[in-house]
Amino acid sequence: MKQLLVILALCFSTVGFSQIPNGSVAPDFSITDIEGEEHNLYSYLDSGYAVIIDFSATWCGPCWNYHTSGVFEEIHEAHGPEGTNEVRILFIESDDSTTDEDLHGSGTNTWGDWTAGVEYPMADNGGNVFDLYQCAYYPTVFTVCPNRIVQQTGQATAQGHISYFQSGSCAPATMPNDVSLLEYLGPNRSCPETPTPLSVKVMNQGTEPLTAFTLTASTLFGTELITYDWTGNLGTYEMEVVELGEVIFPSTSMFFIDVTSGDDYDGNNSVSETMNLTGEIATSLVRVRFTTDNMPGDNRWDITDGAGDVAASTTFGDMTENQTEYEWWVNLGTTGCYNFTVYDQLGNGGNIECDISTFNEEGENINTIFTVNNSGNWTTLNKGFLVNEVNMTVGEELATPIAVYPNPTNGLITLQGLSSTTRQLVEIRDAQGKIIFSQQRPANGDTWVLDLNALDNGLYILTVIDGNSRVTQSIVRS
């Protein structure tokens, strides 16, 4: 059973767990400190300073402990305006329900005087900036580099913070020609003999416009995969996603993308990733089953194709009942390489069960691609598979016969063989597995005529649930 643990290191707020990701461009903001002075993030960055932002709340014990440790006073004294002048620190009290008295230690919702001995700027009522950065708990500490890239540096030591903002990846632009590779953006799963696109986010970290450079992708053992010559025009700190092209990987392999044309600094010229080749084979018809725990809205899944486009998915909150099995039938429609991923929003896994299986034209399960039965801590689990056969039909799952006709249908469809003692439910999903028609009726004879005139022409997957009997099959609206 999932439990939200009370962790002494963090004070959780009431917002969602979706902090702005590391490597993102920091949102700009202006805030006025308790002395009446305004501070603008981008103005500091454009002046070449790194900025440390401490989001705290006066009632938060871990915030107080870190605040009174002296880390930021040490950094401010040595590297702030009166020191080496490399960094600015902004303390933002981010719970707007607290008061100025709380900030100064005389209120009822505070650990003490937060302003005592502090020389760097402090601002109150910063909840809007806390939300802008999608923060989930107090304290949250970000470092924003002069190139506007954000990193959550957390409750590090003074030397830990200093090492980061003095590193080459966080240094202000000082050299004319500096190509910086920020992150790999392509897929990390592929299938045998399948072309896989490679892409990378590039920033001009130089002081002069960037007009040309060369990227080379190669395996861990130096086998060259592809070389790409880029031309264009990027100003200082401007970014672009560069598509190198498609590569066939012979096996699961770690690979690197490197800047192979000359520039003034080589410390940010490489990114790496591991390409995982799958051995799982499937038809285009797959079934996803998911049994929830006591937090059903905490999970979702998706299936993406080789280009990373979503072929089928659910969203957080689609599953609403505890300890309940949900089922989706998805026809992917085309052959190719796909990836199935299950997500946990809180990152604590939970006692869920999930599997994805594939079926032949007789409705027989020919391969269970992936099974999850896990109560450990995780945020994502995934598995790749290769669809090598298109299968557009589904057979009966259970023995009790329920006839569905005519099929194809021009609008009306009849269900025959229903029981007379239960309520029947019909669900119709599109080819991506989304429910687009659902109807329930009281028992009334063994037939039921459905009006599907509102559906567009195409392939659908119909499921009839009749007591303990269930039939799932494809239907065509013509």
Question: Do 105 and 245 fall into the same domain?
Answer: no
410 plus 472 within the same structural domain: yes
In a domain, 1, yes or no: no
CA–CA separation, 2 vs 352, rounded Å?
A: 10
Q: Among residues 170, 202, 220, which one ends one of the domains?
A: 170
Residue at 5 is within a domain: no
The structure tokens listed for 456 are 């567009």
Give the range of the structural domain holding residue 433, as residue numbers without chain letter.
403-477
Residue 18 has pLDDT above 60, yes or no: no
Number of domains in the chain: 4
pLDDT in tens, 394-447: 544 433 456 777 888 888 888 877 776 566 788 888 876 778 888 887 666 777
* Whole-structure pTM value: 0.67
Q: What is the pLDDT of residues 347-398, one digit of tens each?
A: 777 788 999 999 887 778 899 999 988 767 888 898 999 999 888 665 444 3
Contact 329, 354 (CB under 8 A): no
Q: Residue 394: inside a domain, yes or no?
A: no
- Cα–Cα distance for residue pair 334/285, rounded to 1 Å: 10
> Which CATH number is 269's domain given?
2.60.40.10
Same domain? For 351 and 417 the reply is no
Residues 162, 186: one domain? Answer: no
What percentage of the chain exceeds 70 in pLDDT?
Answer: 90
Same domain, 163 and 31: yes
Whether 243 and 268 map to the same domain: the answer is yes
Q: Write down which residue in 389, 421, 455 finishes a domain.
A: 389
The CATH number that applies at residue 310 is 2.60.40
Domain boundary among 389, 421, 453: 389
Please check whether residue 315 lies inside any domain of the structure.
Answer: yes
Name the pLDDT band for 13 (thresholds 50, 70, 90): very low
Are both 357 and 417 inside the same structural domain? no
Say if 457 falls within a structural domain. yes
In a domain, 303, yes or no: yes
Same domain, 290 and 379: yes
* pLDDT on residue 10: 45
How would DSSP label each residue in 452-476? -TTSPSEEEEEEEEETTEEEEEEEE
Would you say residue 78 lies in a domain? yes
Give me the half-sphere count of Cα atoms (radius 13 Å) on the Cβ side of residue 433.
25
Give the Cα separation of 274 and 238 in Å (integer).
Answer: 27
Whether the Cβ atoms of residue 337 and residue 194 lie closer than 8 Å to each other = yes
Same domain, 356 and 421: no
Domain assignment present for residue 23? The answer is yes
CA separation for the pair 463, 12 (Å, rounded):
42
Beta carbons of 30 and 39 less than 8 angstroms apart: yes
Q: Are residues 187 and 308 in the same domain?
A: no
